[in-house]
Every structure is written in C-alpha cells, then in structure tokens.
Structure 1
Amino acid sequence: MHLTIELPNRSETLASNRERWAEVLADRELAVHGYRVETNAFGQVIMTPPAGGPHSSRQSQIAYWLQNRRGGRGLVECPISTSDGVRAADVGWYSVERYAHVRGQLAFELAPEICVEVESPRNTELELRIKRQLYFDAGAQECWQCDLEGRMSYYLSTDPETKRNQSTLCPDFPNTIED
C-alpha cells in the first residue's frame, strides 16, 4: 500500500500555525501541566513530559556555547513553524541577521540556522529524523543531535541523511557535552 499526503502550501500552513500557536500560548490549562507543548499539522496539541536533569544540562550548555562563541541568539525550547505544526527544537541558534527576520514571532516562521535535538530515552530514531526534515524544510542549515551519552552528530541541509562528526558552521564545537 502506498500513501500520499497532500499538505497545504507554506503560506496557509504558516497562517494556521500562527493562529493555533497564539491559542495554545493563551491556554491557561496547558500552562499548569509543565509539559513541553507542540502541535501537529492539524493543530492538535502534543504534550511531552519535562526533560530530566542530564537533558536540561546539555540543552543549556549547547545554547550557552553557541551564543557565547558565535554571538546571535541561542534559544532553548525554540518554537519553529513547520509543515507539521509548531515543533520546539531543544536548542536553536540564530545569527543576528536571521533573528532580525523573526523577531517578535510567537513561533518562528524561518528556522534558526542550527536546530539541536538533545535525545531523551523515549525518542526514536524515526522521530528524530522526521524532526530534522521538518527543520530543514523550514530553513535550517544544520541539525545537530546530542545522544544520551552526550555525543554530538551533525546533519547538513545539503545532505540531510549523512551523519557527520563536525559542524560546518561551528567546526570547533565540542564532540561531547557532559551532563
């Protein structure tokens, strides 16, 4: 069996995500749960339990390193408007120039140059691969992955399926992030 899914065009998707994300952010019931909140292509809310200590530590260290060494904006829980709803990259890094294009948006309609996923025990490789593709489709140049042991791997928009040992935008980024 072959399944074909036709998605709305990018401008329709952005408008829908913009409207739905504003509703999600205004929903006081969602705020009390403490879960990570994202949406899918249908505007349905996806809730994930909060991250554990090692995940949070690595997330903060990556954001700090990027902002401290590269300037721009290192953002934690970075909301990105994708073709499959609003997804939150664990870390997003925007250059000063690119951030000027998204400043003030509730969900960023142009992905950061770098999107980082810090793995949790519940993540699957398929889920991480899909998120990378969504981020690339939204304009990311690189997607990074930090595994459960803190080891980094890098993917480029020009070759999204090939795992690399080094970033092209930040070749001096550490290979391992301690928790």
Structure 2
Amino acid sequence: MMNLNQAATWQEICNNSCLHDLPFKIESNQQGQLLMTPVKVYHSLFQGKITGLLYSHIEDGEVLVECAVRTQQGTKVADVAWASSQRLELIKDEAECSVAPEICIEVMSSANTEEEMLGKRKLYCENGAEEFWICDQKGQFRFFSPDKELACSLLLPEFPATIR
C-alpha cells in the first residue's frame, strides 16, 4: 500500500483503494504529492453538457471525462477532453495520457485562479493539446491555442460560446 506522505506515481495513486471514492478531483504535482479539489454540482452538470455538445459536433474520436494527462509538473486532470481516433489509439490503455488529447477543457471552480488555468494551458499544450478551453461558473467559454486566445475553437468552430 502507498504511503500517502511520500511521492507516488500516477499508477500508484490510481491503485490506492483509500482514494477510490473521494468526492474530490485528484491531481499530482512535480513531487508526486496529491492535490485535491472539491467540486460542486454545477461543475458535474457542465461536464455532462460539454460532453453532449462535443459528441453533437464531432465526427471522429471520443470524449474523455476526468482525463489524466502527464505533464512536466505532475499529472493534471482535464475536466473534459476530446481525442481523435488516431490520438486515442496512442493513449487508450495508459493510466495517464502520455500525449494530451487535442482539446483539453477545464471547468472553473471558486478555488481556481486565472493564473492556474493559464498554467494548465501551457502544460497541456506542451504535451500535445492543440486547444485549451475554459468554462467559467456561468457556462461561458474562452478558447485558446497554444500561444493565444481565440474568438472560437478552430477545431470545432460551431461549438457554442455559452452553455446553460
């Protein structure tokens, strides 16, 4: 059993039965320490709505909810992600994605900061994400490429800027 006071790999974290039913989103930092963020009902509701909208706008690939992505600063978990069929073939059997899905989406909570979100954008994009989206607490989206903010998604230009 993993000692929760020591650094851990993502696989060890996933295998630890003490962590299976926590009502928190779990990520890790560069030292392998666990970071836990509680989520509210609206957060889960938005994840579901985003998933449905993604499936209505894509013809290829799959939507991933709570998608663990290996980064230079530990394992980060995108609230929702989209991976093409080609990318999915690379990552589908991994404990954490060695290559980020093409789109990584974060739903903001009251605990998140703009700086934290822009840091996640950098990490996901360094690992292969082509776009990073932020959904705020009112359901409004901001879309980013690796180097700038976009007026809309370039990969899914018909995706709405707001969900309710």
More helix by share: 1
**Residue 36 of structure 2 is aligned to residue 69 of structure 1:** no
Residue 87 (structure 1) shift? 0.5
- Of all paired residues, the percent bearing the same amino acid is 38
TM-score (norm 1): 0.83
Aligned partner of 1:22 in structure 2 is: 11
CA distance in 2, matches of 1:45, 1:129: 20
- Counterparts of 1:33 and 1:152, CA distance in 2: 28
The corresponding residue for 2:109 is 120
Distance 1:136 1:170 in 2: 17
Distance apart, 1:146 and its partner CA: 0.7
Deviation at 1:150, TM superposition (A): 0.8
Q: What residue in structure 1 maps to residue 45 of structure 2?
A: 57
**Is the aligned partner of 1:175 residue 2:161?**
yes
Q: Secondary structure at the match of 2:94?
A: coil
Gaps of 5+ in 1: 1-16
Poorly superposed stretches of 4+, deviation over 3 Å: none
How many residues align? The count is 157
Report the CA distance between 1:69 and its aligned residue.
2.3
Equivalent residue number for residue 89 of structure 2: 100
CA contact (8 A) 1:92 1:113 kept: yes
Rounded to whole Å, the distance in 2 between the matches of 1:75 and 1:155 is: 19
- Looking at structure 1, the residues matched to 110 and 55 of structure 2 have their Cα atoms a distance apart, in angstroms, of 27
* Cα deviation, residue 134, structure 1: 0.6
2:134 — aligned with what?
145
Superposition deviation, residue 80 in structure 1: 0.3
Amino acid at match of 2:156: C
* Partner of residue 77, structure 2: 88
Cα RMSD (Å) of the superposition?
A: 1.5
Residue 70 of structure 2 aligns with an amino acid whose one-letter code is: S
1:74 offset after TM fit, Å?
0.6
Deviation at 1:29, TM superposition (A): 1.3
Letter of the structure 2 residue corresponding to residue 173 of structure 1: F
**Displacement after TM superposition at 1:59 (Å):** 1.1
Report the Cα offset of residue 64 of structure 1.
Answer: 2.1
Map of 1:159-170 to 2, 5 A cutoff? 159=147, 162-170=148-156
CA contact (8 A) 2:57 2:158 kept: no
Deviations 1:147-179 (A, max 9, x none): 11111110002x2xx32220000000011011x
- Scaled by the length of structure 2, the TM-score of the pair is 0.90
